[in-house]
Amino acid sequence: MTLQTRRVRALGLIEKVILGIIAGAAAAIGVVEVVLTVGRVIGTLTDRVVTVAGIALAETAAPVFTEASARVVTADYDSVTLAIEGLPTNIRALLVAAFVLGTLVTIGVCAAVAWLCLRVFLGRPFVTSATWAIGLVAILIIAGQLGSALLTSIANAEIASYLGTAGDQLPVFLAEVTLAPLGWGLALAVVAAAFEIGQRLQRETEGLI
């Protein structure tokens, strides 16, 4: 066995170990996320008091800070966390749907990473399942993040109506949407297209052998 052959085998072994670590970590994160999601869903649906974080405020001024120091020009609160008793079932369902949609993105990414690592480990990354996995993750990122933001806004509006503070302390409806998920989703769609091209080239190459 030549020195060059030993180096190639050593590098191949190192690559497989790294892929195994990445795949194992992604799978572990996905499993933990599933467990935490189930626990949070059960708690949101059954707890007498539900804690809701990140509710936007209609009146954001914080005079306590501007009055405390002449150096503070303006002060604003971004959001409030409320522990609410006796939330109606429809609001609980909206909170659960928003949370699950957001969590599905993390679980989908972890599953796709673990599967891609396995395909690379086996030496056949360009397969139909890998292309579909990346494509599904792209859809999950766009639909999951945007859908979660929309459902969260609807839930917050329902909470404001339930508490009788709509238009006063809490806004009637306020949707905070970022276009970052759209950019990430489109980028992954391009990667999925590249995998499809690689799969086609792989088939053509195997047909020539």
Q: Is the pLDDT of residue 160 over 90?
A: no
5-9, 52-56, 115-119, 177-181 — which is least confidently predicted?
A: 5-9
**Type and span of the H or E element at 52:** strand 49-56
pLDDT band at 35 (very low <50, low <70, confident <90, very high): very high
Residue 28, domain member (yes or no): yes
| pLDDT score at 31 | 92
pTM of the predicted model, to two decimals? 0.75
Q: Using the 8-state DSSP alphabet, how is residue 48 labeled?
A: S
Tell me which residue range forms the domain holding 94.
18-208
In a domain, 130, yes or no: yes
Average pLDDT over residues 16-34: 87
Q: Is residue 10 part of a domain?
A: no
Contact call for residues 146 and 182 (beta carbons, < 8 A):
yes
Q: Please give the helix or strand (H or E) that residue 22 lies within, else none.
A: helix 3-46
As a whole number, the mean pLDDT across the chain is: 80
Q: Is residue 9 part of a domain?
A: no
185 half-sphere exposure, CB direction, 13 A CA radius: 18
73-78: average pLDDT: 72
- The whole-angstrom separation of Cα 78 and Cα 99 is 20
The verdict on residue 2 lying in a domain is no
Maximum mean pLDDT: which of 13-22, 58-67, 105-114, 179-188: 105-114
4 domain-assigned: no
Total number of domains constituting the chain: 1
Question: Which of 29-43, 50-64, 137-151 is predicted least confidently?
Answer: 50-64
Write down the residue that tokens 């626990």 correspond to: 39
